[in-house]
Chains A and B, each alone.
Chain A
Amino acid sequence: MPKLSDLPAGRKGKIVELATQDRRILCKLANLGIIHGTLLRVVSRRPLLILQFGYTRVAIDPVLAAQIQVEIID
């Protein structure tokens, strides 16, 4: 399953799994709306991963993004 951190800029993905047991990380991501089923687009990969979903733009660390599994959408 591709990871969010592998998604090239401009591509869309749908979150299918957060592969972590870390309570803090889960809490953080869920609070931002990065949760199972969220459709998002990678706006840019530099200097960090910049994501857009709905009207929210979020910058996240590639380390966090590597724990998010996505389904690539064309």
Chain B
Amino acid sequence: MVTVALVGNPNVGKSVLFYHLTGNYVTVANYPGTTVEVARGRTNIGGFTVEVCDTPGLYSLSVITGEEAVTRRLLMANPKAVVVHVVDAKNLPRMLPLTLELLACGFCTVLVLNMADEAARLGVVIKRAELSRRLGIAVLEAAFAEGRGVTALKKEIAHLLVQKNPPPRLPAPPPGISRAAGLLGGEYPLPATVTARLYLEGDSEMTELVEKTEDSSAVAFLRQLREQADRPLYSFALQRREMAEKLLEGVFFPGRHALPGKLDRVTLDPVFGWAVAGFVLYAGLYLGVGRLGGGILVGLLDEALFGGVLIPLIERWMAGAIPWPALRQLLAGEYGVLTLGLRYAFAVIMPIVGTFFLMFSILEDSGYLPRMACLADNTMSRLGLNGRSVIPLTLGLGCGTMAVLVTRTLESRRERFIATFLLALAVPCSAQLGLTLAVLSAEPLFLSAWVAVVGASFLFAGRLLNLLLPGGRQPFFMELPPLRLPRFNAIFQKTYARLGWYLKEVTPVFVFVSLVLWMLNISGVLGALILSLAPVLARMGLPREMAPVFILGFFRRDYGAAGLYDLYQSGVLAGAQLLVAAVVLTLFLPCLAQLVIMLKERGIAATTVTVAATAALAFAAGVLLRLALGLPQF
């Protein structure tokens, strides 16, 4: 099956195109770095079944971030792929060099000038036919957000599936590259000139590959060439840029300047910007997720629908229909699949996570997040991070598991580790946040104390890691997309896609956790575990009823929060205990799903350190808080 790879800079509309081609929606946003993995979907084009791949943003084959490396690997593994290079039409001069790289790799390429409507509005003129003639490939115009240009692109892909492009007419590579390419005798996934170029640039993946393949005399020669080269990466990039400029002479005519608007300036203002950010967080998180999701919607679904109607109905039905108490327990007991598993999933967690994803989608689509990243850069720099980390950390307020995946957009291992650690320790997920807000909002003082303690832990852990870990932070840079009014369709589709991902990932875990707890309960293991946890809890001034909540909390953080909500409702926890419980639960271990992703992304050593440290810090915070509040040991 032929692969159709959608490639291009971040934030040019690849994911929207993917949706138009396959009908699948991957998360699309108005900022770079939303696609961190390759999304694949099958579709039929011109009578052929093809696999369409939406790839993370790529600036050039000289890659820096993990997500760029993902795209390059996909390209290397599919030399016969049809590559759709999507560019933002008005920024063609900056993006055309990547087309040249793709052509140099020998890919069968089509260039798509997306957002052509916006470019036209600004008065940009592009002579497509001439550009197509100069490049020797099709150059199409599109506005994928409006669905324009999809049919023409499909037609061109269909054409390329039966008839490949003629080899492009590219100028000869610079002499340094040709010399190095001449020394390569082995077989490589990319043509010799491209392999040689990346080798000379000091690309680690290519260096390893070349030095493994070639004999020692060739390697010695290549190394010598590399040492002689003066900043090869930069000079090759400059050559491509100059080549692109020449190709665009008489083809690309810029239009009017787009100046930043008033709102744009306010969001970046060091004083008013923070006020805007504070308001956005207050409105989105507290009013939206906390009050609307955690308060009103959970109240409706959990108390009215499940508690008032469904569960009594099930219990009444089961009393007559199922004579075995153990089975009754399994379905509708304390840890029942219906009463705990599905109720938590649909009545407690879903409304909260749903409202979070809705709020986050609005933020994303407006283009506001990169501005928040700029504002927070200074603060983040003290934690060894830069403004870029604001995006995964904010996403962590929705779902920590998703956020750990998105830490791939950070540039160094050090930053990825710090961000992952902070996500595990002090970034509550939306379910946790919504429920904690619901539980604590009756006591504004406790709520502020919770925010203060969790915030202080976040800053403390970040500063400590920044001091302890060798190396420094990466300097910040980020493209600022224009602010725009969020589009209803995009928001709806995005929220729907994220919520779908979430439910697909969590519902089996919910049912599984209910099963495990039911078994532990029935076999008496749970009782023993609770007993063994009781002294630990007592030191933090918490009753042993909290033990199952912590155990639940390990399986899913949101579960633990939902358990806390239950204890609050039933009056087991009161006053200052609630505060201690909320703080410890927030800082405590990440949930099972997040743990699995951490293992996959960061490896066993980093994960073990994180788990041990978060558990210890949570316990320490609990004990200190008890002492500070003057609570008795339980």
Contacts and interface: CB of A to CB of B under 8 A. Distances in A.
Contacts of B260: 43, 52, 57
B477 A64 contact: yes
Contacts of B602: none
B268 A61 contact: no
Contacts of A63: 475
Contacts of A31: 59-60, 62, 64, 237
A36 B233 contact: no
A11 B30 CA distance: 28
Interface size class of B (residues with CB under 8 A): 35 or more
A58 B238 contact: no
A56 B91 contact: yes
A55 B477 contact: no
B234 A30 contact: yes
Interface in B257-273: 257-258, 260, 265, 268-270, 273
Interface string A38-74: 0000011011101010111111110110000000000
Interface stretch (B299-307, B371-379, B559-567): B371-379
B378 A47 contact: yes
Contacts of B258: 55
Contact of A26 (B233, B374, B475, B480): B233
Contacts of A52: 257, 260
B476 A35 contact: no
B94 A61 contact: no
Given A46-B270, A61-B477, A64-B477, A21 B231 contact: yes
Contacts of B386: 61
Contacts of A35: 234, 237-238, 241
Contacts of A28: 64, 477
B370 interface: yes
Interface centre among A26, A57, A59 (most CB of B within 10 A): A59
B90 interface: yes
Interface in B177-201: 201
B476 A48 contact: yes
A32 B59 contact: yes
Interface centre among B93, B254, B370, B475 (most CB of A within 10 A): B475
Contacts of A26: 231, 233-234, 237
A18 to B, nearest CB: 7
Nearest to B476: A61
Interface string B229-249: 001011001100100000000
Contact of A50 (B94, B233, B387, B480): B480
B117 to A, nearest CB: 14
Contact of A59 (B60, B90, B374, B378): B374
B122 interface: yes
Contacts of B270: 46-47
B91 A58 contact: no
B202 A23 contact: yes
A18 B234 contact: yes
Interface centre among A18, A25, A54, A58 (most CB of B within 10 A): A54
A67 to B, nearest CB: 9
Interface of B: 59-60, 62, 64, 88, 90-91, 93-94, 122, 124, 201-202, 231, 233-234, 237-238, 241, 254, 257-258, 260, 265, 268-270, 273, 370, 373-375, 377-378, 386-387, 411, 474-480, 482
Interface of A: 18, 21, 23-33, 35-37, 43-44, 46-48, 50, 52, 54-61, 63-64
